[in-house]
């Protein structure tokens, strides 16, 4: 889906929207506790290795962007946060979202769990939803099946 991602990036850039992507990653050959890890630029991930978290430069980049935001919608962890070696990026961003002077919305059960595991108080987030996919559909203007079934259409 690289073509689609590039088209989205081009549209956002044309509209003057700042668009951030990770610049470095924590990589490993397996998703196992104790696996050897490295931090590399995203363009230099060797064959047979997988990006399993964002790296420290990406954390700084994203945290700085969040510090200037007025509204933050976060849907999805940055890595495999369930394993300690791959949790640091997600946990750092959870703290940055919580510390932001912004309306903060966290969507998705995994993201909710990541915020909790990061030790972030739920009171420091404006709204947390475990329905990440449904939240995105709502923002897209699509009907939510559960709501549509309850709506009297006569």
C-alpha 47, offset from chain centre:
25
- What burial class does residue 43 get, using C-beta atoms within 10 Å of its C-beta: 0-12 exposed, 13-18 middle, 19+ buried? exposed
What is the pLDDT of the chain when averaged over all its residues?
Answer: 92
- 5 has pLDDT over 80: yes
Question: Of 46, 12, 8, which Cα lies nearest the Cα of 27?
Answer: 46
Which residues, other chains included, contact 44 with Cβ-Cβ below 8 Å and sequence gap of 6+? Answer: none
pTM of the model: 0.85
Which residue ranges form the domains of the chain, and what is each CATH number? 55-142 (3.40.50.1260)
Q: Which residues contact 152 (CB under 8 A, 6 or more apart)?
A: none
Tokens of 78: 């940055």
- Higher per-residue pLDDT: 21 or 134: 21
Mean pLDDT for 59-79 is: 94
């Amino acid at each position: 889906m690289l073509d689609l991602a590039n088209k989205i990036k081009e549209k956002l850039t044309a509209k003057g929207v700042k668009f951030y992507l990770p610049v470095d990653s924590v990589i490993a050959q397996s998703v196992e506790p104790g696996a050897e890890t490295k931090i590399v630029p995203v363009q230099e991930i060797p064959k047979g290795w997988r990006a399993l978290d964002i790296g420290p430069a990406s954390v700084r980049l994203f945290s700085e962007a969040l510090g200037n935001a007025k509204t933050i919608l976060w849907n999805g962890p940055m890595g495999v946060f369930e394993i300690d070696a791959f949790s640091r990026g997600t946990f750092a961003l959870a703290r940055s979202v919580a510390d932001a002077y912004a309306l903060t919305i966290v969507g998705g059960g995994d993201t909710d769990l990541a915020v909790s595991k990061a030790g972030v108080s739920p009171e420091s987030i404006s709204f947390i939803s475990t329905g990440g996919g449904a939240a995105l559909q709502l923002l897209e203007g699509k009907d939510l099946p559960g709501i549509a079934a309850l709506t009297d259409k006569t």
